[in-house]
Structure 1
Amino acid sequence: MKVVFISCLITFLSWVITPPAQALTQIKLSDISYKECPPELAQGAVISSGSASANCFIVIGKAENGTNKTVYDADIFGRIYDANNDSVMQNRTRLGSIAEVPPGISDFELRISVPANQPLPLKLKQFKAAGFSGQVRR
């Protein structure tokens, strides 16, 4: 009898003490375009290997949060191609993040560096984002 009571007590306490799950919330991205970085951001831009020069761009668009809560740390995913349909970000679809997305529609921007030898215009495809309903501990 004692074992049953203790088991029930532990089960009950685990339900009460467990923090709420922070579900991943999908964010719809639309009106995606890009523009060149201002000179102060573009100066000295290089690609991740650090040796080749790069062009700096800012991807801009609208983020739609369909919930009634702010979404935090929303990762932005997408594919970017050059004029020859070659991938600009090899083996990489996570492009950056948005710190906070309030309920409704809001603007976002993301800075990217593209190797200078890749021909323009860029093609932005399959953009989406997902974040959390509560702040993620760091």
Structure 2
Amino acid sequence: MNFSASEGEQDYFAYTATLRIHGQSLPFDQISSKLGVLPTHTHQAGKRRRPAARPYPDDAWHLTAPLAEEAELTEHLRWLWTRVEPAVEFLTGLDAKVDVFCGYRSNNGASGFAVEPDALQIFNALKIPFGVSVIVDSWLGERLSEPTEH
């Protein structure tokens, strides 16, 4: 069990990976059929999340790996790849923006993560860059005597 510098606070590491398809007039049913799975989120251009929100600018079909956030990013990407691999040609042929959103959250500012090479196949096949949104809780900044500059 690892504890961060914060008194008694256990370190946590959370990962997520989501296939995102955005465009105009997306064929939602066809995407679901080709991937063999229902999306975890969809929305249509012009609709609103809630009455006061701005309308969505485009259609979206998202599929988030249904793994526990504690599972390594490699596992999330492998799960998505098993759905995407048979449909690569279909996905790259869509008139849409296709990407994979990867997220990493932790309260430990002195750690990192690795992704196994086979889990990166999805990025090569879809010809998209691998990127990760990294969020580290503020405990590190609170413990520094002076702010750091980059």
Q: TM-score range by the shorter chain?
A: under 0.3
Higher share in strand = 1
Q: Which structure would you say has the larger Rg?
A: 1
Q: Structure 1-normalised TM-score?
A: 0.27
Relative to the length of structure 2, the TM-score reads 0.25
